[in-house]
Amino acid sequence: MVEAARTSLSRGRPEGTDATARLDLVDRLRAAPDIGACGSGALQWLAAHAGIERGLFARVDDTERELVGVAGYGVPDDAVASVRLDCRDYDTPLSWVITGKDLASFDAAELGKRAGDMLLGPGPITAAPVFPGDETQAGGVLLLTPADDGGIDEDAVEWAASVLGMRLGQLMQGGDGRPTWGERLKRERAWLYGVIEAVTDPILLTDPEGRILIANRGAEDLLVAEADASEGRRHAVALNNLMFSASLAPLSQLDDARRRELLLVDPVDGSDLLLELISTPLQIRSGEMGKVAILRNVTDLNRAFDELQTNYKKLHKTEAEARGERDRLDLILNSVADPILVTNAEGEVVLMNPPAARILTVGDESDHAAERRVRANDAMLSSFLSNVYTRAKQPWRAELKLTDPESGAELPIEAIGTTYAEASGESAVVTVLHDRSEAAEKARLYEQVFRHSAELEEKVREATAELAEQNELLRRQALELERASAMKSQFLANVSHELRTPLNAMLGYTSLLLESVYGELTPQQHDKLSRVAANANHLTTIITDVLDIAKIEAGKIPVTIEEFRLSDLVEAVLAEFEPLVADSDLEVCVDVSREIPPLRSDPGKVKQIVINLFSNALKFTADGSVSLAARHDETRDLVTIEVVDTGIGISADNQKAVFEAFGHSAHPLTTDKSGAGLGLSISRRLAEVLGGKIELESAPGEGSTFKLTIPRRLPSS
């Protein structure tokens, strides 16, 4: 540019600006003490020699982003000072002028309203860059408008700009506030450091060996320990350096920028720091590649990420829970027999269980009638729901007459609707329909059961009363029987008394006669009188027997328990029968072992029974044998006495009758053989008194077996 200015200077037009005029400009500028005076001088000279009407000189601001007004010609001075022209946009004519080196012409409108239209006026503008001293960048700009009568002398303008540039260079070197190149370099270096420091992320420049060349404050905090740093901090820094170098090392093989994560320790509080390392290779000297490393603290980012992930999981879990809750709710709703439905504020059904669906929805196979019923039900329910809404919060209860869609049967239903606020803030209604018809059915059933139960109870009461009556009757009958029995016993006793009295006289006189109280009898008389005596004695026996039965039945027979041997007792009985046995042709066998242990019973009664059985056997056996055997059943401690004969036997029909008092008149031999009488009846009763029994085995013509069984030891009562 300097070269260009010189060139134009040498090409200067002699006709517009002769040597005198040019010297005049040089003089003016040399005399100008500052940049403003220089500008004014140059503009005045241009007005006189180059044909301009108005002009403005603006210097390029330090930032090189705008032009600041310095001097003007044909414009007010105060307006000049306020001129600021933005030249940050590179695609404007002004920028072209600054970055280029030649003159340029453009319309004033390009400069904006204030500088263009108002200050310099509309129309074309000629702009010329001014290069101070040897600098290659423009330090100012001359903006000129041509006079009405002709064009601008561009050669004069170029010459003036170059002279102005030279003078400006002199002024700047003379310490007039304009920075020198060296100062500017220093300043820009300071700016660069400032920028680096201003970045909060640690930034480092390292040489190929990994030594730190430049480090900002953030980087120093992590990687540099001052001489007076604490032990902890020195340790942390040492560790961080190790980590940093290690993470940087593998990258040295590669030329392009790399990102990786790096875990360091905060030397201040010892907490973990997660950093993202971005490194870029950089030529620091010819042939030497260093690295620019930028560390970004992503600890918080990581934490935020973790938190985000946790939140997400929580959300997911909550959602799953909500879903589970909903499933459970569905399950509950579906298992309730009563129809249940949930409706939203618009009255739309949100949720319903199958029983509700049956009443309120049309099935696939529903006919026309069913659809009509469903619609009717729906209408009923809608009016109910509107009632629920007007009541808010308070549960609303109503009887609805719905219809079963399938059968058309009436469904008297009790509906209970409750409003509740959903999480979204909208209110919804839960309606439970209680089927009253089922309740009615249950009530009917219950009533029926109750009635049956009452009837049953009445019947039981009647039966009980009847039973009580019968019991009372039985009790009375028992009393009467007892009394009758007592009367019978008394009667028998009386009869016995009445019979004995005459018998007593008969036996008495017979005795007296036989004992010759009234004189000696002939042998024949004695014999016949003896028979009278025998019969009288027999009669006495019968009467005694009759009374015995009465005694036993009246419970008035005493039991005398003694210890005795059965063999002794049988011997005594046999002795009594000795004459009778001797008279008969019967074979008599007796088998009573002395091994049988002593009995403890009433020997008198045992003897009475044995005598009775034995005498019967003898009486009713014409020929053959009579045997008497006794056994002891040790396991049950029972004694059995068996009397077996080969006599006439007893038919099955009569076997029971022979034991009954006065009941065996049919016995074929009672008329012939005296004395059978009441013996068996008494024997049986006595056996019972002794805790035993008498059994009979017999058949007509084949003899009889009477078996007495009694406990060996009768407990004393």
Q: Which residues bind another protein (CB under 8 A)?
A: 493, 496-509, 511-512, 515, 517-518, 536, 540, 544, 547, 550-551, 556-558
Nearer to another protein, 500 or 607 (CB): 500
Name the residue with tokens 């009778």: 580
CB of 557 to another protein, least distance (A): 8
Nearer to another protein, 318 or 490 (CB): 490
Q: Are 61 and 87 in contact (CB under 8 A)?
A: no
CB of 500 to another protein, least distance (A): 4
Alpha-helical regions (H) of 177-228:
181-198, 217-223
Chain-centre distance for alpha carbon 303: 35
d(CA 403, CA 406): 9
CB of 492 to another protein, least distance (A): 9
Name the residue with tokens 């002028």: 97
User: Which class for 462: exposed (0-12), middle (13-18), buried (19 or more C-beta within 10 A)?
Assistant: exposed
d(CA 382, CA 362): 16
d(CA 683, CA 710): 12
Q: Are 109 and 94 in contact (CB under 8 A)?
A: no
CB of 511 to another protein, least distance (A): 5
Helix H or strand E encompassing 405: none
CB of 619 to another protein, least distance (A): 24
Nearer to another protein, 122 or 502 (CB): 502
Nearer to another protein, 421 or 512 (CB): 512
CA–CA distance from 647 to each of 73, 278, 573 (Å)?
Answer: 188, 141, 20
Nearer to another protein, 44 or 540 (CB): 540
Helix H or strand E encompassing 365: none
Q: Are 602 and 714 in contact (CB under 8 A)?
A: yes
Which letter does DSSP use for residue 212 in this model? E
Q: DSSP 3-state assignment of 395?
A: coil
CB of 607 to another protein, least distance (A): 19
Name the residue with tokens 């400006």: 168
Residues with Cβ within 8 Å of residue 311, at least 6 apart in sequence: none
Residues with Cβ within 8 Å of residue 688, at least 6 apart in sequence: none
- Measured in residues, the chain has a length of 717
Name the residue with tokens 């549960």: 395
Residues with Cβ within 8 Å of residue 59, at least 6 apart in sequence: 35, 67, 68, 70, 139, 140
Q: Which tokens in the block code for residue 521?
A: 């009898």
CB of 503 to another protein, least distance (A): 4
Nearer to another protein, 296 or 500 (CB): 500
CB of 634 to another protein, least distance (A): 36
CB of 519 to another protein, least distance (A): 11
Nearer to another protein, 26 or 503 (CB): 503
Nearer to another protein, 287 or 558 (CB): 558
Q: Which long-range CB contacts under 8 A does 616-619 form with residues at least 24 apart?
A: 616/643, 616/676, 616/679, 616/680, 616/706, 617/643, 617/644, 617/645, 617/647, 617/704, 617/706, 618/577, 618/580, 618/581, 618/584, 618/586, 618/645, 619/669, 619/673, 619/675, 619/676
Name the residue with tokens 């009869």: 495
Q: Which tokens in the block code for residue 234?
A: 């020195």
CB of 504 to another protein, least distance (A): 4
Phi, psi of 143 (to 5 degrees): -115, 120
CB of 713 to another protein, least distance (A): 25
CB of 505 to another protein, least distance (A): 3
d(CA 457, CA 247): 100
Amino acid at site 682: I
Tell me the CB-side half-sphere exposure of residue 405, using CA atoms within 13 A. Answer: 23
CB of 629 to another protein, least distance (A): 34
Nearer to another protein, 71 or 547 (CB): 547
d(CA 520, CA 527): 13
Residues with Cβ within 8 Å of residue 8, at least 6 apart in sequence: 155, 158, 159, 162
Nearer to another protein, 548 or 642 (CB): 548
Q: DSSP 3-state assignment of 379?
A: helix
CB of 488 to another protein, least distance (A): 13
Nearer to another protein, 477 or 511 (CB): 511
